[in-house]
Amino acid sequence: MGIVIRPAQGVFLQTLPLSFVFGAYRRFEVDPQLDAADLRTITATVQRARSAKMPLAFCRVVRDAHSAEAGVWLPGCRPKVTDRVFDHIAGSFFNSTAFAGVFAEFTERQIFMVGPRLDSSMRSTVSDSAAAKHRIKVVIPDHPLQKCSTAFKDGSIVVRTSQYTAQHDEIPFQNWKDTMWRSEHHI
């Protein structure tokens, strides 16, 4: 278990903005269906990062070190040889020594995370990143309720507000896309 190293460590540690993608691998028997806003945000973020030649790291939850659950990558999100894939048992990806070691080596750079708004692994990882002294920006969907999501509980709708603390920023997808365009063209 751990990490599939692609590309070389030096390439991955460049100062380009980096996006961590959660929930792009959907396990058939375990993962709930994504809503349209989360699906659109994840796939569009991966597409935009690739067009800007930004490094991507995919964080994939596995049951245990010796099993792979059947699943599928979201459209356009299958890792390429220029991407990294971190496999980890549920919870914060900082529980993986490989992930924590790579994250600790990052110098000053912009770090973004994107995934389903209710993804517990992403929330835990964002929360644990504060100890690593990196400010994380979470890419969220572009729609009027971007700071909220709804969930059904006992037949009633429950509104969940943002799960992130004040130490972490949320950035709507369009703002993130515009920021990446400016970085790419040095404006």
DSSP 33-89: PPPHHHHHHHHHHHHHHHHTT--EEEEEEESSTT----EEEPTT-S--TTSEEEEEE
Mean pLDDT of the region 160-171: 55
Q: pLDDT-derived band of residue 162, with 50, 70 and 90 as boundaries?
A: very low
Q: What is the pLDDT of residues 22-68, one digit of tens each?
A: 999 998 888 888 989 999 999 999 999 998 888 888 988 887 766 66
CATH of the domain at 129: 3.40.50.850
Residue 110 has which token pair?
């912009």
Counting the structural domains of the chain, the total is 1
Please give the residue range of the domain that contains residue 161: 3-185
C-alpha angle 12-99-94 in degrees, rounded to nearest 5: 140
Q: What is the pLDDT of residues 71-81, one digit of tens each?
A: 899 999 999 88
In the predicted model, what is the mean pLDDT of the chain? 75
